Amino acid sequence: MNRREFLQFLGISGVLSSVPGCATSSLSFASATPSWGLPPSLEDKLITSPGLNYKILIKWGDQINLKEKFGFNNDFIAIHSLTNNRALLWVNHEYVNPLFINGLERTKENVDKELLEVGGSILEIQNHDGQWSVIKNSQYNRRLHGNTKIPFAWNKKIAGSKKAIGTMGNCAGGKTPWGTFLTCEENYDLFWGDVDRSGKITQSLMGWDKIYPRSPEHYGWVVEVHPETGKSKKLISLGRCAHECAAVTKGKNGKVVAYTGDDTNNEHLYKFISQSSSSLKKGKLYVASLEQNRWISLDIEDQPVLKKHFKDQTEIQIYAREAAKLVGATPLDRPEDIEFDPLTGNVFIALTNNKASKNYYGSILKIVEDNNDPASLTFRHETFLTGGDKNAFACPDNMVFDQKGNLWFTSDISGAEINKGAYEGYGNNGLFVFLRSGEYQGEVVKVASAPIDAEFTGPCFSSDYKTLFLSIQHPGELSKSLDKLTSQWPDGDIPKSAVVTLQGPLLDKIISGKV
């Protein structure tokens, strides 16, 4: 197929026809990458396209107040405006690499240090003459970490407690219509192992459970955080799994709807429909069947098979994966980030890959809810983009739309596989944009390349779309020792994750459709 036929096959032409002023019959797709598109790179640098500039906002270990420091491996970013030039930034801290913190030995002292490196940070930032900076020692600056006590937003105890100690594995997230942040606990089993309904517990890789035997059921939830106070709660209503994100909108009836993916091979896509227009505490959890094009209820009163296997709704929420399989949910290729198209309202899901099924490159799935209503229980779906040579990207992960409908997304090729095997020739992970208008409409273009071993995460626009905030996570993660570093980004010493700001004339041109 030629480029035009390929895009039409993927359903992209139908999406593009919804852009004001565009008609499918008059579309003309470019046959080559624009001059400002980046080729693959294996350099230990953050490389950006000409006209796109970056500055480091904050990096691992920087002091944020008199007692606390910015945590390790920053991921998801969300912004809460205070004034025209001041805002609060939430940043996830997903996991740690003990080598860079205190060594690999599993002692209480070492684990205690690592517990303070995960969770998330709230930072007050200010814009002066177009440049953002962190306000050090702001009253808002604070950390949530592995020792923070967080209550469960549920009417029953979870594993014998009304609260959990700590949050970790915080990957992506979301933001509610009322302005709170959502941070998602993904691979909780790395820290505390896991438990099945028979009570059998698996050990963790990090070894934290050997020092502090906490209940695995206390982790794997979506956590809601108030931006100005840091007050938080774990939302049992959205189920327990390896949550990658939580994308929130409202149905036509005004009720809140939250979508979340379980980032594991052959796991599922979930949707929660709240009873309220301003809370995620009570409602009904559903799971997607792509074969049936419908959302299947996980309510015990709706499903005889669940009533047969589970004692109550609380147990279903804790073991959502098992419940989803019992009702016939569709297994997917690592559903990660979820975003809403501002031009159509459609739901986009990054399916990163499934190497066990020989899907090495991943894809982006599009769901069109019936009547364009997020609260609908039926939908249509199609593949929007596929990774691989045709589009010159692999393993799509985090996404964000700009105000003109351009889709920006990052890639997540495993550090151990970068430029090897199926990924030979792709180079380091990158930041890409799918263009919705202009001369290169319909093209996927690489605009930034990450340092060695790193991936970009958490892309987030400022309210005026003049700045794209971006995390650089785990540079040098494959280092064998402090004497054999694979990366020394950004300071020429021990590698450090960081948040950067991307600005410049190219960003303005892309968003205005003038490239």
**Residue 10 pLDDT class (50, 70, 90 cuts):** very low
Counted domains in the chain = 1
Residue 330 in this model has a pLDDT that exceeds 70: yes
200 residue type, one letter: K
In a domain, 8, yes or no: no
Alpha-carbon gap, residue 207 to 106, rounded angstroms: 7
Mean pLDDT computed over 437-464? 96
Summarize the chain as % helix, strand, coil (round to 5). Answer: 15, 35, 50
Task: Name the 3-class secondary structure at 154.
Answer: coil
Both tokens assigned to 398 = 């985090």
pLDDT at position 413 is 98
Query: Tens of pLDDT along 195-216?
Result: 999 999 999 999 999 999 999 9
Looking at the whole model, is its pTM more than 0.75?
Answer: yes
Mean pLDDT computed over 78-96? 97
Query: Tens of pLDDT along 278-310?
Result: 999 999 999 999 999 999 999 999 999 999 999
pLDDT at position 27 is 27
The domain that holds 380 is classified in CATH as: 2.120.10.30
**Residue 33 pLDDT class (50, 70, 90 cuts):** confident
161 residue type, one letter: S
In a domain, 186, yes or no: yes
Find the helix or strand (DSSP H, E) in which 315 lies: helix 313-318
Find the helix or strand (DSSP H, E) in which 6 lies: helix 3-9
Alpha-carbon gap, residue 281 to 311, rounded angstroms: 21
In a domain, 13, yes or no: no
Both tokens assigned to 13 = 């032409």
In a domain, 470, yes or no: yes
* Residue 265 CB partners (closer than 8 Å, separation 6+): 331, 333, 334, 354, 355, 356, 357
pLDDT at position 8 is 41
Mean pLDDT computed over 328-343? 98
Residue 245 in this model has a pLDDT that exceeds 70: yes
Q: Where in the sequence is the domain holding 324, given as residue range(s)? A: 32-353+363-512
**Residue 32 pLDDT class (50, 70, 90 cuts):** low
In a domain, 9, yes or no: no
Pairing of strands 283-289, 269-274: antiparallel
| 436, 16 Cβ separation under 8 angstroms | yes
In a domain, 18, yes or no: no
In a domain, 50, yes or no: yes
In a domain, 15, yes or no: no
Residue 24 in this model has a pLDDT that exceeds 80: no
Q: Which residues pair with 382 in a beta bridge?
A: 366
Alpha-carbon gap, residue 271 to 375, rounded angstroms: 9
| 72, 95 Cβ separation under 8 angstroms | yes
| 434, 407 Cβ separation under 8 angstroms | yes
Query: Tens of pLDDT along 470-507?
Result: 999 999 999 999 999 999 999 999 999 999 999 999 99
pLDDT at position 262 is 98
Alpha-carbon gap, residue 490 to 469, rounded angstroms: 17
Residue 254 in this model has a pLDDT that exceeds 60: yes
Query: Tens of pLDDT along 126-153?
Result: 999 999 999 999 999 999 999 999 999 9
